[in-house]
Amino acid sequence: MALITTKEMFKKAYEGGYAIGAFNISDLEQLQGVLEGAKAKNSSVIIQASKSAIEYAGPHTLVEMVKAASDEIGVDVALHLDHGPSLEAVKMCVEAGFSSVMIDGSHYDFEENVRITKEVVDYAHAHGVVVEAELGVLAGVEDEVSSDVHKYTDPDEAKEFVERTGVDSLAIAIGTSHGAFKFKGEAELKFDILEEIQAKLPGFPIVLHGASAVDQNSVATCNEFGGNIAGAKGIPVDMLRKASSMAVCKINMDTDLRLAMTAAIRKYLAENPAQFDPRKYLGAGRAAIQAVVESKIEDVLGSANSAK
Q: Is residue 139 part of a domain?
A: yes
Q: Is residue 199 part of a domain?
A: yes
User: By percentage, how much of the chain surpasses pLDDT 90?
Assistant: 78
The pLDDT value given to residue 182: 43
The pLDDT value given to residue 157: 97
Q: Which of 149-163, 184-198, 266-280 has the highest mean pLDDT?
A: 266-280
What is the average pLDDT across 69-74? Answer: 96
What is the average pLDDT across 187-209? Answer: 93
User: By percentage, how much of the chain surpasses pLDDT 70?
Assistant: 92
Is 82 annotated as catalytic? yes
* Number of domains forming the structure of the chain: 1
Q: Is residue 288 part of a domain?
A: yes
For 7-11, 164-168, 193-197, 233-237, which range has the lowest pLDDT when averaged over its residues?
Answer: 233-237
Round to whole Å and give the CA distance between 205 and 207: 7
Q: Is residue 277 part of a domain?
A: yes
Q: Is residue 308 part of a domain?
A: no
Is residue 81 within 8 Å of residue 48, measured between CB atoms? yes
* Full residue range of the structural domain in which residue 176 is found: 6-300
What is the average pLDDT across 259-284? Answer: 97
Per-residue pLDDT reduced to its tens digit, 123-150: 999 999 999 999 987 654 445 554 455 6
What is the average pLDDT across 173-202? Answer: 78
Q: Is residue 1 part of a domain?
A: no
Round to whole Å and give the CA distance between 88 and 268: 41
The annotation places the binding site for dihydroxyacetone phosphate at 179, 210-212, 252-255
Round to whole Å and give the CA distance between 49 and 62: 8
The pLDDT value given to residue 139: 57
Q: Is residue 103 part of a domain?
A: yes
Q: Is residue 204 part of a domain?
A: yes
Per-residue pLDDT reduced to its tens digit, 208-244: 998 777 788 888 998 999 988 877 677 888 899 999 9
The pLDDT value given to residue 150: 65
CATH of the domain at 16: 3.20.20.70
The annotation places the binding site at 83, 104, 134, 178-179, 209-212, 252-255
Round to whole Å and give the CA distance between 266 and 273: 11
Label residue 12 left, alpha or beta by phi (over 0 means left) and psi (-120 to 50 means alpha). alpha
What is the average pLDDT across 21-27? Answer: 97
**Straight-line distance from the first to the last Cα atom of the chain, in angstroms, rounded to the nearest whole number:** 15
Query: Per the residue annotation, which of 82, 168, 215, 256 is the catalytic one?
Result: 82
Q: Are strands 145-147 and 140-142 parallel, antiparallel or unpaired?
A: antiparallel
**pLDDT band for position 308 (cuts 50, 70, 90):** confident
What is the average pLDDT across 37-48? Answer: 97
The pLDDT value given to residue 210: 80
For 21-30, 85-94, 176-185, 214-223, which range has the lowest pLDDT when averaged over its residues?
Answer: 176-185
The annotation places the binding site for Zn(2+) at 83, 104, 134, 178, 209
**pLDDT band for position 29 (cuts 50, 70, 90):** very high
Round to whole Å and give the CA distance between 47 and 49: 7
